[in-house]
A and B are shown apart, each in its own frame.
Chain A
Amino acid sequence: MSDAIRKAAPHVSQSEALIFEKSTPGKQAFALPPLDVPAADPARALGAAHLRSDIEGFPEVSEIEIIRHFTRLSTWNYGVDTGMYPLGSCTMKYNPRVNEVVARLPGLATEHPLQPDEVSQGCLRILRDLERCLLEITGMDAITLQPAAGAHGEMTGVRLIRAHLTAQGDPRRVILVPDSAHGTNPATAAMSGYRVENIKSNPAGQLDLDALRQRMNGDVAGLMITNPNTLGIFEVRIREICEMVHAAGGLVYMDGANMNALAGIARPGDFGVDIVHLNLHKTFSTPHGGGGPGAGPVAVKKILEPYLPVPRLVELPDGRLRLVSDRPQSIGRMRAFVGNFGVLARALAYILANGPDGIRRTTEDAVLNANYIRKQLEGIYELPYPSPTLHECVFSDRRQMKNNVSTMDIAKRLIDFGFHPYTVAFPLIVHGALMIEPTESESKEELDLFIEAMKAIAREAETHAEMVRHAPHTTRVQRLDEVTANRKPILRWKPVPPPDAAD
């Protein structure tokens, strides 16, 4: 086994207890400056009934113990900084360090969202510049930077659809979603009061236009479509799709999660879509942070501008910037304050670092990398859809399942080879899917190592299936018991009670 593995992933084998288990009464990690005003008596100021006596179970540790605890925990993680992360539709690209510096600058990180516009021109200028860049990249007319994540942007988009159709007289009842869609799409539509119906994909892996034509009527508020879709395939008839939906009075929402295949090459605005959301933590390099925070700006065509969430960023003739909330047709507020400014600043830094050529080259490299992988693995893993793909490709585990080796097993074995797994078992329309998106951040050397690893695992599936099925072998923990975790959930630490003296 060790011969085939040329890249190692670090896993420190020590055990690291929970911080509560390392706590000792009397230790402390921080000292506040002495109080320069008279102390207040909490009982007198707040009333004794409002007071707590203690924060039971709260840790008491020193600074070095905190540094060591979290440093050790970090060594059990795999990050983009460690190596390739081929998760489909996640766009795990390099998180530039200059982004981290600018977001933390005093004068930016220190600003309060409710401070007057007059003393926030710097922040507002950053937001305005980002808006203009994103509008240029998407080819749309107006944008909101408020949504905190892609799913939040989707919710905003569906509400825009509802608002527009309501103003026309009928919000309608149904939203159509391709059967290849990401789970947030139907969840969002349902949360916004719409019934969700699936439209099937055709054998080429694209939306079945006959199915759409049959279903598209005055009951349908709109279609949520990802382009390229979750198979990495461009919906070549997107213009026709938009015309079909528009002709029946509906709107088209494009999930922009896969913009890494389009930026600088093609613009959603030119496809005819009415709304598109962006995932800044995907296409625009803001870090995933172990699951967030992100940001999900929503760009729209002119007809939907009046409904955008408040506050709106407005530029006065003299160049001053203002946040205005007096927008009677707005859908309202999607969250408190203006948006995830720290994330937005990072995205702008990324765009400024790239410029128009950089954006385009980035997209070219992303698509080149994915196609390179696809070409090399085509004969070895089954490719369910022969259509050309852009920035990601989807295989199935059908061949390997002959030896009872599933996509999950292959993914776990990939960990031993030093890689983070690809996206397992999604999209649902492919049985046993392996969804691979390398992004542009991978060198040819890293791609070749990945391809070698995937080939080695395919061979192992034939000759040493057990090795794959019981992977990973080189991590600090083996496969974890998810069944017990879900049957009897333990969702917090509790102190072990002392033995009962009365017994």
Chain B
Amino acid sequence: MRYLPKSDSDRREMLRTLGLSSADQLFDSIPAELRRKQPLALPRALSEPEILDYFRQHAAENAAGHVKLLGAGAYDHFRPVVIDALISRGEFFTAYTPYQAEISQGTLQAIFEFQTLLCQLTGQEVANASMYDGSTALAEAALMALRITGRSRVLVAANIHPEYREVMQTYLAGPGVTLAEVPVAASGQVDSAALEKLLNETVAAVAIQSPNFFGCIEEIPALAEQTHRHGALLVTAIAEPVSLGLLRAPAEADIVALESQAFGLPTSYGGPYAGVIATKEKFVRSLPGRLAGQTTDRDGRRGFVLALATREQHIRREKATSNICTNQALCALAVTIFLCVYGRRGLRELAEQNLAKAGYLAAELAKLKGVRLPYTAPFFNEFVVELDADAAEIHRRLLPRKFVAGVPLSRWLPERRGALLLCATETAKRGDLDSFVAALREVLQP
């Protein structure tokens, strides 16, 4: 087996040192009745060419040739090739968690840079490095708000990504915590009048998403002011952070739960991604997840270490801020490189292209008979269309024409039978957008 760097004579010699004659004896401490006699029923060992064949074959059975106008929490953006060139360095990707700071300065400095970039983008004071993904980051942010305020109720906007809301339900469900839904206004944004009726002194947090699941941008300063008047915290989820290239930072939010996949991570059928929680310094001791902190060594040289570890499971155990042990370090590194490559002006330009592509698609679709845009709020690169037809059926009919027409909202909201959530990023070519519009016009004809 080519991953095992020992010869049979090495093994024999080592067994002799142990006074053993066969490898079986190494497992004498396992009771015989628990040891497996027959070999595992696994496929036989494949050579490297065969492994590549297996995966290439299955790669051909997916949707690589389709035009995918699909966002909904995972976004297709140009990934600069230097990302893979750098994260493929063995010193980065085969390294462990940087507990031994002296030989992990590469990882630690990169994490520190990541934390800084996320603070700059979100207008918050401190950011962790990182959570599993945006959905668990939002759930943990809600738990943070409960801890900080000592209150027991979380109001959850109905236009947060449905899968994020399901995760919040899973994480928060339990005695002593209640969740309540905040309805959506006709604009597509959170209904702030309805929110006002729900706010009281039992509410720990109001959770929103911006741009929200329907692609609409929320009025964060107003919602923050409303929330704060009742002593609650505003928790803002961001699933498409490229929007921050143009949109003002959500500095008024108390806690931001962000999915950074759009910043250089492939969509990869769902993961791995990297969530981030960014917040105010005064909440740092309630923050879960890894943090890299700056310090000096004996000779005054600047260096970085994992900081505030006493929040974490390996010290605080059952009183930890979370049970999380992993951070998505390699993903965070990819994100850091992406943000450095685009930089101050590039991220803005990237966001402008997204705005233009989605704006163009929306305008062209709005010209079609039987298609309308139901929401009035501004949107970034995603928007909802309402069809005079069953959207799931239309979606199905467009698939053989090599279009993934976003996602039908009826997948989560059965009453929205005519709605599609569409996304166009900078990767969408005009020719493909025009073809899509033409195809949709065709399939909509009775």
Within the complex, are A and B direct neighbours (CB within 8 Å)?
A: yes
Neighbour of A32 across the interface among B57, B312, B314, B353, CB < 8 A: B353
Chain B residues within an 8 Å CB radius of A101: 52
Are A121 and B326 in contact, with the CB atoms below 8 A? no
Asked whether any CB of chain A lies closer than 8 Å to the CB of B339, the reply is yes
Is B263 at the interface (CB under 8 A from chain A)?
no
A38 within 8 A of B: yes
Contact across chains for A371 and B26 when beta carbons are under 8 A apart:
yes
Does B329 lie within 8 Å of A291, measured CB to CB?
yes
- Provide the residues of chain A in CB contact with B57, threshold 8 Å: 122
Is the C-beta of B164 less than 8 angstroms from some C-beta in chain A? yes
Contacts A290-B329, A332-B166, A341-B270 given; indicate if A485 touches B294 (C-beta within 8 A): yes
A70 CA / B23 CA spacing, docked (Å): 44
Nearest neighbor of A156 in chain B, beta-carbon distance: B170
8 Å CB contact of B271 from A51, A67, A342? A342
| Alpha-carbon distance between A46 and B175 when the two chains are bound, in angstroms | 42
A38 to B346, CA, bound (A): 19
Shortest beta-carbon distance from B161 to chain A in Å: 7
Please determine whether A492 and B337 come into contact, CB atoms closer than 8 angstroms. no
Flag the segment in A262-270, A298-306, A393-401, A452-460 that touches B. A262-270
Pairwise interchain contact A265-B314, C-beta atoms closer than 8 A: no
Return chain A residues, CB-CB under 8 Å to B31: 236, 239
Q: Which residues of B contact A187 (CB under 8 A)?
A: 313, 316-318, 320, 322-323
With A70-B337, A82-B90, A114-B407 given, is the CB distance from A183 to B103 under 8 Å?
no
Give Cα distance in the complex from A90 to B130, angstroms. 20
Among A16-24, A212-220, A243-251, A461-469, the one that faces the other chain is A16-24
| B100 and A420 contact, CB distance less than 8 A | yes
User: Would B359 and A45 count as touching, CB distance under 8 A?
Assistant: yes
Determine if A122 and B58 form an interchain contact, defined as CB atoms under 8 angstroms apart: yes
| B51 CB–A CB distance under 8 Å | yes
Among the stretches B64-72, B178-186, B200-208, B225-233, the one at the interface with A is B64-72
Bound Cα distance from A387 to B30, whole angstroms:
12
**Pairwise interchain contact A480-B295, C-beta atoms closer than 8 A:** yes
Asked whether any CB of chain B lies closer than 8 Å to the CB of A29, the reply is: yes
The interface bits of chain B over 5-40 (1 if a CB of A lies within 8 angstroms of the residue's CB, else 0) are: 110001101110110000100111111001110011
B103 touches A9 (CB 8 A): yes
Give the contact-size bracket for chain A: 35 or more
B42 engages A351 (CB within 8 Å): yes
- Is A106 an interface position by the 8 A CB rule? yes
User: Shortest CB–CB separation between residue B331 and chain A, in angstroms?
Assistant: 6
Chain A residue, CB-CB nearest to B294: A490
Q: Determine whether A271 belongs to the interface, using a CB cutoff of 8 Å to chain B.
A: yes
A79 touches B378 (CB 8 A): no
Q: Report A328-380 residues with CB < 8 Å from chain B CB.
A: 331-343, 345, 349, 351-362, 364-365, 367-369, 371-372, 375-376
Q: Report the minimum CB–CB distance from B287 to chain A (whole Å).
A: 10
- Cβ of B295 and Cβ of A485 under 8 Å apart? yes
Known: A56-B120, A482-B295. A28 touches B72 (CB 8 A): no
Q: How far is the CA of A267 from the CA of B30 in the complex (A)?
A: 11
Residues B282-317 near A (CB distance < 8 A): 284, 290-299, 301, 303-305, 307-310, 312-317
On chain B, the residues within 8 Å of A420 by CB distance are 96, 100, 103
Contact B322 A137 (CB under 8 A): no
> CA–CA, A96 to B47, complex, Å?
13
Say which residue of B76, B316, B352 sits within 8 Å of A112 (CB atoms): B76
Which residues of B have CB within 8 Å of A290? 92-93, 95-98, 104, 107, 110, 329-330, 333
Residue with the greatest number of chain A CB neighbours at <10 A, chosen from B45, B59, B163, B380: B59
Q: Which of B150-158, B191-199, B365-373, B425-433 contacts A (4 or more CB under 8 A)?
A: B425-433
Q: Mark A116-151, 1 if CB is under 8 A from B, else 0.
A: 101111110110000001001100000000001111
Bound CA span A296–B57, Å: 26
- Name A67-107 residues within 8 Å CB distance of B: 67, 69-71, 73-82, 85, 87, 90, 92-96, 98, 100-107
With a cutoff of 8 Å between Cβ atoms, the chain A residues found around residue B63 in the complex are 111-112, 115, 119-120
User: Which of A56, A69, A136, A289 has most B Cβ within 10 Å?
Assistant: A289
Checking A85, A196, A446, A481 against B296 with a beta-carbon cut-off of 8 angstroms, the contacting residue is A481
Q: Which B residues touch A190, using CB under 8 A?
A: 318-320, 323
Q: Which of B70, B284, B333 contacts A489 (CB 8 A)?
A: B284
Q: Does B127 contact A (CB under 8 A)?
A: yes
B64 with A148: CB separation less than 8 A:
no
B337 close to A28 (CB less than 8 A): no
Contact A333 B44 (CB under 8 A): no
Separation of A15 and B301 alpha carbons in the complex (Å): 9
Q: Who on chain A is nearest to B359 by CB?
A: A40
Complex contact A492–B127 (CB within 8 A) = yes
Which of these, A50, A55, A148, A183, contacts B120 with CB under 8 Å? A55
Alpha-carbon distance A236/B31, docked complex (angstroms): 6
Number of A-B residue pairs at CB separation under 8 A: 666
Alpha-carbon distance between A78 and B169 when the two chains are bound, in angstroms: 40
**Cβ–Cβ contact A67 & B323, under 8 A:** no
Q: Using CB atoms, name the residue of chain A closest to B245.
A: A55
| Nearest CB in chain B to that of A194: its residue | B318
Task: For the complex, give the distance between the alpha carbons of A104 and B285 in Å.
Answer: 37
Q: Select A475's contact among B40, B68, B103, B110, beta carbons within 8 Å.
A: B103
Contact yes or no, A361 B1, CB < 8 A: yes
**A368 CB contact (under 8 Å) in B23, B133, B274:** B23
Contact B34 A238 (CB under 8 A): yes
- Within B220-248, the residues touching A (CB, 8 Å) are 244-248
A402 at the interface (CB under 8 A from B): no
Type the 1/0 row for B106-135, where 1 means its CB is closer than 8 Å to any CB of A: 110110110111011100011100101111
Q: Does A384 contact B (CB under 8 A)?
A: no
B120 touching A265 by the CB < 8 A rule?
A: no
List the B residue with the shortest CB-CB distance to A39.
B356
A421 B23 Cβ-Cβ under 8 A: no
Name the residue of chain A whose CB is nearest to the CB of B55: A102
Asked whether, in the complex, the Cβ of B356 is within 8 Å of the Cβ of A111, the reply is no
> Cβ of A66 and Cβ of B341 under 8 Å apart?
yes
Q: How far is the CA of A343 from the CA of B40 in the complex (A)?
A: 23
Report the nearest A residue to B64, measured CB to CB. Answer: A107
The answer, among B11, B45, B298, for a CB contact under 8 Å with A358, is B45
Contacts of A333 in B (CB 8 A): 135, 163, 166-167, 169-170
Distance (whole angstroms) from the CB of A438 to the closest CB of chain B: 11
Q: Does A440 contact B (CB under 8 A)?
A: yes
Set of chain B residues within 8 Å of A431, measured between Cβ atoms: none
A406 at the interface (CB under 8 A from B): no
Structural contact, B433 and A37, CB atoms closer than 8 A: yes
Interchain CB contact (< 8 A) of B325 among A149, A352, A490? A149
Q: Chain A 1-23 against B: per-residue CB contact (8 Å), 1 yes, 0 no?
A: 00000000101000110111001
Contact assessment for A365 and B6 in the assembled complex, using a CB-CB cutoff below 8 Å: yes
CB < 8 Å neighbour of A16 from B14, B39, B101, B109 = B109
A77-B105, A420-B100 are contacts. A123–B58 as well, Cβ < 8 Å?
yes
In the complex, A484 has a CB within 8 A of chain B: yes
Residue of A nearest to B35 (CB): A266
Contact B269 A367, beta carbon cutoff 8 Å: no
How far is B135's CA from A294's CA once the two chains are assembled, in angstroms? 17
For B29, list chain A residues within 8 Å (CB).
233-234, 236, 387-390
CA distance A23 to B394 in the complex (A): 49
Determine if A287 is an interface residue (Cβ-Cβ < 8 Å). yes
Residues of B within 8 A of A47 (CB): 217, 378
* Contact of A113 with B by CB under 8 A: yes
Q: Please report the C-alpha to C-alpha distance between residue A183 and residue B329 in the assembled complex, in whole angstroms.
A: 20
Beyond A82-B90, A334-B167, A354-B1, whether A493 also contacts B112 by CB under 8 A is yes
Not counting A184-B325, A362-B4, A368-B14, a sample of 4 additional A-B residue pairs whose C-beta atoms are within 8 angstroms of each other reads A108-B58, A341-B269, A354-B3, A492-B126
3 closest A-B pairs by beta carbon, nearest first, are: A355-B45, A107-B59, A289-B330
User: What are 27 A-B residue pairs whose CB atoms fall within 8 Å in the complex?
Assistant: A20-B116, A70-B86, A75-B106, A79-B92, A81-B94, A107-B58, A126-B55, A154-B323, A187-B318, A187-B322, A188-B323, A236-B31, A289-B93, A292-B327, A331-B170, A333-B166, A334-B170, A337-B74, A352-B51, A353-B45, A389-B29, A426-B314, A485-B294, A486-B307, A486-B308, A492-B125, A493-B116
